[in-house]
Structure 1
Amino acid sequence: MNGLHGSRTEAFPAPKDPVAGEAPAIPVLRGHFAARWNAWGAGRQEAFLARLLAGDGGSFPLVEPSPDGRADLRAVTFLHVAPDATAVILSANALVDHRNTAASEFERHQGTGLWVLTYLMPADWECGYRITVHRGPGQAPWQAATMRRAIRMAADAGGPDPLNPVLGAGMNGGAMSVVRLPGAPAAPWLAAARVDPVATSPVMGGVLAGGSTSAASEGLAELQLVDSGNGRLRTVWIYSPAPGSTAGPTPLLILHDGQVWAKHLNLKATLDAAVRDGVVPALHVAMVDSFDGATRSQELSGPVGTVDFVAEDLLPVLRRTLPVRTDAAGTIVSGASYGGLASLWQVARHPDLVGVALAQSPSLWRYDLAEPLARVADRVVLRLQAGIYEAEIHATSMQLLADLVPLGADISLCSVTGGHDWSWWNPWLIHGLADLLG
C-alpha cells in the first residue's frame, strides 16, 4: 500500500490543465439532400414529407453510400421539422467546433419546413447527438456565446432527434439520440438505455445523477461502504452472474461512474445477455459511484482518492463476500474519461491487487503516466480505447502506447470512430472485456 488517501508518499507527476483539441475535420456535404430531393418526382417528395411530419423515425438519420463511391465512407443526413425555426444545430459528440459552429448548423430546405445537414463520415462512426432549435430574432445562443463550454452547452440544450428511435443516456441520464453506422462492431446484447426524462444536457462534466436508487438499478445488490479516506458513505452496485452460470471464482471488474452504468445504461441487462450469448464469461462487477461533479473531479482524476478507496476499502470486502478471483490477473478496473485515468493509476499504484486496466478515453492530458506505468510494465495488462475525434485524448493515448511498447509492456490501443461519448463507451466496455476474457 502507499498509505492513506491524500498522502503523497511518492512523487506523482504534476497535474496539468485541459488543452483545447484540434478542430475536427468533418466534411459537410452542403446541397447533398437537395440534389436528391430535386431528382425525385412530386409524388415521392409529398410522400417523404408526409412521413416526416407524421414523426416516422424508422430509418433516420438517412445513411447512404459516399457520393464518390468510397466504401469506407457514408453520407449521413440529419433532418428536422421546424417551420418556425431561425437556426438549428446538431450537437454531435466532439464535432461541434466552438471556433466554427456554422459547420454543425442545418440548412433550411426549400420552403418545406425541413432543416437538413449531411456529414460524410467513416462507415464505423458511433455517436450520441442532440438537436437544438432557435426561434425568434437575434443570434442563436450558441452563436452569441464566446467561451468554449458555453457554446457546447448552448448547442446541446435541445433534445433527442424526434425521427430517431434509438436513445442513449449520458452522465446524468439525459437523453441523447444514437447513430451507429453499419461498419461499427455489432452489439446485439446491448440493452436499451433508461433515460431520465427531466435531466438536462448530458454533455460530459454536467451535473451527475443523485445517489438514490431507481428502477434502472433493480436486480443489483447495493453496498454502502465508508470511504476511510474522507469518512463519506459510498454506494457500490454489485452485479452477480445468474446462479449456475459459473462453477468457480469469477473475474472481478471494478467500474467507475457506477451510477451511470447501474441506473441509466442498464449494464445488468447487457451483461446478462452478453454472458448468455457467450460473448464474455460469467463475472462479478462492482460499480463505484462518483457522487457529484465536484467530488468526481477531486477524487477520480488523480492518483489518490477513489484509487485508494478501491484498494484499501472496497477490494477487501468484495474478496471476502463474493466468489471472485483474488489474484491481480483476475481483477480488472475500468472507467471512462477521469474513470479511465483512475483505472491506469490503480494498476500503477497497486499492481499487487489489480493487474488489468481497461481505460476508455483516459484523461491523460491531466497526468503523464508513462513513468509510473513503466515501473510496473512487466506486471500489468493495459488496454486503451480512445475516440479519433477526441484529439488530445487520442494523441496522449498513442504517446503512452509508444512509451511503453519498447519496454515490453502488454499494452494496446483501440482507436474508435467516435468522440468523448457514452454512446460508444457503453458497447465497447463489452468489446474490451471480450478481448481480455475471451
Structure 2
Amino acid sequence: MAISPAAAVERDFPAPREPVPQPPARIRVLTGYFRTHWETLSAPEQQQLQAGWDTRALPLIEDDPDGDPDVRAVTFLYRNSAAAAVILSANAMVHPDTLGACEFEALPDGLWALTWQMPASWEASYRITVHTGTGTPPWRTAADRRGVRLAADAGGPDPRNSVLSTGMSGAATSVLRLPAAPPAPWLATPVPAASAGTSIMGDDSAAGLLPQGRCWAGGRTSGPRHVLGDFVRSLELRRVRDRHTGRMRNVWLYRPRVPLAAPTPLLVLHDGQVWAKYQNLAGTLDAAIDAGILPPLHVAMVDSVDVPTRSRELSGPTGSVDFAACDLIPELRRSLPLSPDPLHTVISGASYGGLAALWQVARFPGTAATALAQSPSLWRYDLDQPLLEAAGRIRVRLQAGCYEPSIHAPARALHAALAESGVDTDFRSVTGGHDWAWWHPWLIRGLAAVLAD
C-alpha cells in the first residue's frame, strides 16, 4: 500500500461504506430540579435572576444530587416570555428519540430551565432555539435525524454564557467545559464569523479578487501583516497547485514567532479555513509554544473549500491525500526549515479530515508518518489492513468522543488491532461529541504528546 509520491498512481481501493445511523445518547434529566430551587427564592431574588443581575456563572454547575463525584448537575437557564417551547441543541445529544430530554421546562414569568446529570469531564458546544406562536415546534415535525438536528440548532448561543466557539460555518456556539475536563490555559479565544471583524487575507483572493497593492511571488503573498479578529498574526496565504486536479489550493501557513535553533516539525491540518479564520489556532499555537507545551513548529492549514468539495476530496484515499504528499509537503520542505524525518511530519484533521490523516500515513509513510486523527470517519472505510502494511514506519494517534458511537467504537477497535500488531498507536476517549469544542484543545494535547516522543 505504501508508495512514494513520485510513484503515486490510481489503484484499487476498498469501496466506501454508507453512513451508519447514530444511536441516541443516554441523557439523564433532573426533571423539576431548578423549579424546586426557584420556589425557595424570595420575590426580589427571583426578579434579580430574571433581570440577569445574578452574579453566578451560567450554566449552573453543581455537585451531583445523587452523590457521584464524577458527575455534575448542569442547569441551563433561558428567559423569553414569548416562547412556546425551548430546546437545547448540545453537540451529539439531539436525536428524534431524545427531544423530550432536550426541551426546557417552563417556569413562571418566561423563565425556562433544563438540568442534566453529566460526566464531570464533559466538553460541548451548544445553542438554544426558541419556538414562538402556536403549532408544533419544527424540531418535532422534521422528517429525519438531520432535519431534527438542523431545526434544534437554528437558534443561537446562550446569552448568559460568554464562552464562545464556532464550527465549520463560522456560526457562533456557546461552549461548556465541566470541572474535570483538562485545563487548557493556552487556548485562544475563537472568533465566530459574526464577530470576526477584519478577516484574514484570503477571502477575496480565493474568489479571484486579490486586493490591489499585493502581488504574488513564488506562490506567496507579499504585503503587510494580516489581522484575524482581534488577534494580529502573520498567517501567510499560499496558493499551491494540485497536479492531479490542475487547480490552485489555498493553504494558510503558520510560522513560529520564536527564534529557531533547528529545523522544526510540520503539522498539515485539514479544514484549514476553520482553523485559520474562526478557531484562531495561530493564537493558541503562540501561547502553547510560549508556555513550553509545544516546541516551535510550522503548520499548514489546508482549505477544504465547501461541503461538496470536502466530501469529494477529503473522504477517501486520494484527493487531499495525494495533494499533501505529492505537492504540498515537497514545496514546504523546499522553502521552510523543516525536519526531513517523516515522523516529524504530522497529518491531522477531524471527521473526514481524521480519515484522510490515516490514509496519508498508510499510503505515504515516507513523506508523513504520524497521524493525529480526531473523530475519524471510520464508518466509511476499514483501515486496519492499509495501516498494518505500513507498520514499523508510522505512528497513529486516535481521539474520539464518547457521544459519537459510530466513530468511537471503530476508533477503539482500530487502535486495538494496530497495537496487537506492534504499531505505535494510542487512543484517547474524550467526553464529548463530534465537536470543535474539544477538537481544538485536544489537538494541542495530542501534538504535545507526539512531539515529545
TM-score by length of structure 1 reads 0.93
**Map of 2:79 onto structure 1:** 81
Tell me by how many angstroms 1:3 deviates: 7.0
Q: For residues 190 and 153 of structure 1, do their structure 2 counterparts lie closer, same or farther at Cα, with a shift above 3 Å needed?
A: same
Taking only aligned residues, the RMSD between alpha carbons, in angstroms, comes to: 1.9
Tell me by how many angstroms 1:198 deviates: 8.6
CA distance in 2, matches of 1:220, 1:360: 23
CA distance in 1, matches of 2:142, 2:18: 22
**Map of 1:280 onto structure 2:** 294
**Map of 1:383 onto structure 2:** 397
Q: Are the equivalent residues in 2 in contact too, given 1:340–1:361 (CA < 8 A)?
A: yes
1:71 equivalent among 69, 73, 91: 69
**Map of 1:122 onto structure 2:** 119
CA distance in 1, matches of 2:262, 2:175: 38
Q: Are the equivalent residues in 2 in contact too, given 1:335–1:360 (CA < 8 A)?
A: yes
Give deviations 1:156-215, integer Å, cap 9, x for gaps.
00000000000001101110000011110111111111111199xxxxxxxxx9946984
**Map of 2:21 onto structure 1:** 20
218-227 or 87-96, which deviates more: 218-227
**Map of 1:98 onto structure 2:** 96
Residue 256 of structure 1 pairs with residue 270 of structure 2:
yes
Q: Are the equivalent residues in 1 in contact too, given 2:342–2:369 (CA < 8 A)?
A: yes
1:295 equivalent among 309, 332, 339: 309
Tell me by how many angstroms 1:230 deviates: 0.7
**Map of 1:234 onto structure 2:** 249
Q: Are the equivalent residues in 2 in contact too, given 1:57–1:163 (CA < 8 A)?
A: no
**1:103-182 pair list within 5 angstroms:** 103-109=101-107, 111-182=108-179
Tell me by how many angstroms 1:46 deviates: 3.0
Q: How many residues matched?
A: 423
**Map of 1:8 onto structure 2:** 10
Give deviations 1:362-396, integer Å, cap 9, x for gaps.
00000010010111122111100000000100011
Q: Are the equivalent residues in 1 in contact too, given 2:5–2:326 (CA < 8 A)?
A: no
Tell me by how many angstroms 1:352 deviates: 0.7
CA distance in 1, matches of 2:47, 2:251: 54
CA distance in 1, matches of 2:437, 2:241: 32
128-137 or 30-39, which deviates more: 30-39
Q: For residues 148 and 397 of structure 1, do their structure 2 counterparts lie closer, same or farther at Cα, with a shift above 3 Å needed?
A: same
Q: Are the equivalent residues in 2 in contact too, given 1:236–1:289 (CA < 8 A)?
A: yes
Letter in 2 for 1:63: I
Residue 355 of structure 1 pairs with residue 356 of structure 2:
no
Q: For residues 293 and 215 of structure 1, do their structure 2 counterparts lie closer, same or farther at Cα, with a shift above 3 Å needed?
A: farther
Instruction: Please give the secondary structure, in 2, of the residue aligned with 1:63.
Output: strand
Q: Are the equivalent residues in 2 in contact too, given 1:58–1:163 (CA < 8 A)?
A: no
215-224 or 415-424, which deviates more: 215-224
Percent identity (aligned) = 54
Q: For residues 276 and 58 of structure 1, do their structure 2 counterparts lie closer, same or farther at Cα, with a shift above 3 Å needed?
A: farther
**Map of 1:216 onto structure 2:** 228
Gaps of 5+ in 2: 197-202, 211-225
Q: For residues 57 and 249 of structure 1, do their structure 2 counterparts lie closer, same or farther at Cα, with a shift above 3 Å needed?
A: farther
Tell me by how many angstroms 1:82 deviates: 0.8
Gaps of 5+ in 1: 200-208
Q: Are the equivalent residues in 2 in contact too, given 1:382–1:412 (CA < 8 A)?
A: yes
Residue 61 of structure 1 pairs with residue 59 of structure 2:
yes
CA distance in 1, matches of 2:186, 2:137: 40
Tell me by how many angstroms 1:4 deviates: 8.5
Tell me by how many angstroms 1:43 deviates: 3.8
TM-score by length of structure 2 reads 0.90
